[in-house]
Structure 1
Amino acid sequence: MSEASPKPIRSLILGGVIPVIAFTIVEEYFGILWGVVAGMVFAIGEIIVEWTKQKRVSPITWGGGVLILLLGGVSIATREGIWFKLQPALLEGVFGAVLAISCLMEKPLLVVMAREQGMFNRLPTELVPLFTKKFFGLTWRLSLFFFLHTALATYAALHWSTRDWALLKGVGFTGSFVVYMIAEVWILRKRVSRQIGQDRVFPQSG
């Protein structure tokens, strides 16, 4: 399953962390205005660095960067840092909606990505329907995870200190996502191995 980990989700987890750190540090010493400006500058920097390295920019990076610039502009105009702080919540909410809508359209995002990466091609033919069903369920549960975290991130933006809000984005979200996915993989292995036989589904090395 790790081979099918979708790059957009990794971009969502890692993207935007540097602008958040920049905003937090600069805001603490120089105030909200300069903190927002620093976050916006680093958001542009993330886009430039990704383009330089990969000759393309992922939709998640574009979306996160544009949101930072738009909400940063509103924060500067209103002199309220809350708008900038809402960016992670909005981005996570949008991604949760994309996951949910893909399931409603019967084209679950994780299934589509697994097929594009050729994961199903490496499985015995009779196991493809089983894994398709499991990935469909995982897509639904991931959408719920993102919606719950959107609510928490919104509350943090409104009521927590800037430092605690940044910790939620940089450490809390990443840590909770990693723990959640480890649990999902463990449960998947247990359930599938009981149904089919572990050696056929997850061949042991050596």
Structure 2
Amino acid sequence: MVELRAYVYLDRLQPQFAAYIGANARGYIPIPGMAAVLVEIAPGVLINQVTDAAVKAANVQPGLMVVERHFGVLEFHSQAQAEVKHAGEAVLEALGVKLEDRMRPKILSSQIIHKVNPYHAQMVNVSRLCSMLLPGMDLYIMEVQPAGYITFAANEAEKTSQVTLVDCRSFGAVGRLYLGGKRSDVEQAAGAAEAAIASLAEKESES
């Protein structure tokens, strides 16, 4: 039986987040302003059925497909929001699930470190997937479960402030987000990221 771990609709990809997908995925590269959906399921191998349903149902391009032992993740996007939404509906139908069947997101950790030390910044930069964290920046770190929901937090945070997307891990056991910048920008982005996850959790609670 398939488990819908995460289903995330992104209405408008932000510049840094779109660049992150393009730099780290092996599929079709998105550009800022596109709409996107990210689906996370278990067992992982069934993500191939998700991809098949999405690309056959609408004019969408897959950007990221990951097949892990336990979880599978697919991101697809298009210039047209209607195409993305239609492909998303086809995915749910193919899996035999409804949107309200998705797991409720949970914030595992949310923290801000002020004025990062130069050595600390270098340690973060060693394994980062996005932009550099510079010494003296504030650093925000969020962990979310299931992992796919971190994409919504990252995209919504970027909408609110001039923050730097340092790292984003959108698959695996835990989703992880690193943001850097001035204190006021980081605090604003952190609030937006937490509010984004809370809004999804509220929807699931109501359903």
Q: So what's the TM-score if we normalise by structure 2?
A: 0.28
Q: Name whichever structure is richer in helix by fraction.
A: 1
